[in-house]
Structure formats: C-alpha cells, structure tokens
Amino acid sequence: MLPVPHGSGKKFVVLFMFCLFLAELKVGKELQLSEGLAKQGKRLLRFSAAILALATVSLVLDLGLGDDYDRVENTFEWWLVLLLNLHLAWIVALWRTSGFNLSAPSSASH
C-alpha cells in the first residue's frame, strides 16, 4: 500500500464536501428552472446558501483564530456534513415524489 502524506485525508474530505455542495447547488438551480418543482428548487437554493454561510463562517474563524480554531473545527465539520446529507435526502425525496425516472439506453443487437 502506498504511504499517504499526513493531512491529505482531510484535504480529500474537504474536496469531496465541496464537490458534493456544487452538485447539490446545480440540482437546486435546475429544479428552480423546472415547471413543477420550481418552488422546491428555490428552497433548496436557500438551504444551499445557509450551508455556504456556515462554511464561510468556519473559514473566517479558521483564519482568525489559528490554532485555537482546532477546538471547534470538528463541530463545524459535523454540522456541514449533516446539512449536506439533509440536502441530499431532500433531493432524494423530491425525486421519489416527482415520479422522475432515470434509465440507461438499452443496446439492441442487430
């Protein structure tokens, strides 16, 4: 197994959370533009704004407090993860109630 540099796991988690946030933001924006789910899309975007606000507060505190931020860092990370997962669960619930169906094209043999 290859050695992993110290701290790279945290960077991966932050990158994953950022990409998940961007994907959820995109879903909210697309739903806002859809005819039947525009209201829910707007709500999802407002929820995304709250997540972004919390992440921004976390970054500002990290910059301002330095090493003292370590005492509360996990609290912010857990709240962000919880909110991102609630956002995802909301999207799943909308998917189920909307009747949206996703299927892969079948390859027909000729």
pLDDT digits over 40-49, tens only? 999 999 999 9
Asked if residue 106 is part of any domain, the answer here is: no
In a domain, 63, yes or no: yes
The whole-number pLDDT of residue 102 equals 67
Burial class (CB in 10 A: 0-12, 13-18, 19+), 76: middle
Residue 17 within any structural domain of the chain: yes
* Tally of domains within the chain: 1
pLDDT averaged over the chain?
83
Domain extent, residue 26, equals: 12-32+41-98
- Residue 68: DSSP 8-state: G
Could you tell me if residue 104 is inside a domain?
A: no
Report the Cα–Cα distance between both ends of the chain, in Å, rounded. 45
Res. 35: pLDDT tops 90: no
Task: Write down the residue that tokens 């003292």 correspond to.
Answer: 68
64 assigned to some structural domain: yes
Question: What is the reported pTM?
Answer: 0.74
In a domain, 86, yes or no: yes
